[in-house]
């Protein structure tokens, strides 16, 4: 989610992922309880880099209880830009 906008996050996903799910379907799955996040680490893979392993720290609230979580994301270089690969990305709730 980017500034509370799940559509913006959908636009950052890989073309292959966007073929499997519509923007509307994605918005229903998007976790709107995330209050903030920070990128803790980025590991580039390849020369030149074609993939990135990213560690993200989240602050979210569930039923008024705050949680600090950490998750791995995988990004790929595609069509001249970096895109999130949700299929390979673990969410804070799936770790």
Please name each of the domains of the chain with its CATH number: 6-84 (3.10.450.100)
Sorted by sequence, the CB contacts under 8 Å of residue 44 that are 6+ apart come out as: 51, 52
Q: Model confidence over 67-85: pLDDT tens digits?
A: 888 888 899 999 999 998 9
pLDDT, tens only, 29-61 = 776 677 888 899 999 988 888 999 999 898 888
Residue 36 has φ and ψ, to the nearest 5°, of -160, 165
Spatial separation of the C-alpha atoms in residues 36 and 38, rounded to whole Å: 7
pTM greater than 0.75: no
Closest CA relative to residue 73, chosen from 58, 60, 62: 58
């Amino acid at each position: 989610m980017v500034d509370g906008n799940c559509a913006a996050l959908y636009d950052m996903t890989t073309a292959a992922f966007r073929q499997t799910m519509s923007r509307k379907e994605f918005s229903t799955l998007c976790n709107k309880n995330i209050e903030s996040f920070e990128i803790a680490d980025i590991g580039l893979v390849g020369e030149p880099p074609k993939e990135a392993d990213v560690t993200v720290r989240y602050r979210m609230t569930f039923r008024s209880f705050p949680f600090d979580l950490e998750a791995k994301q995988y990004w790929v270089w595609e069509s001249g830009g970096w895109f999130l690969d949700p299929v390979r990305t673990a969410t804070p709730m799936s770790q």
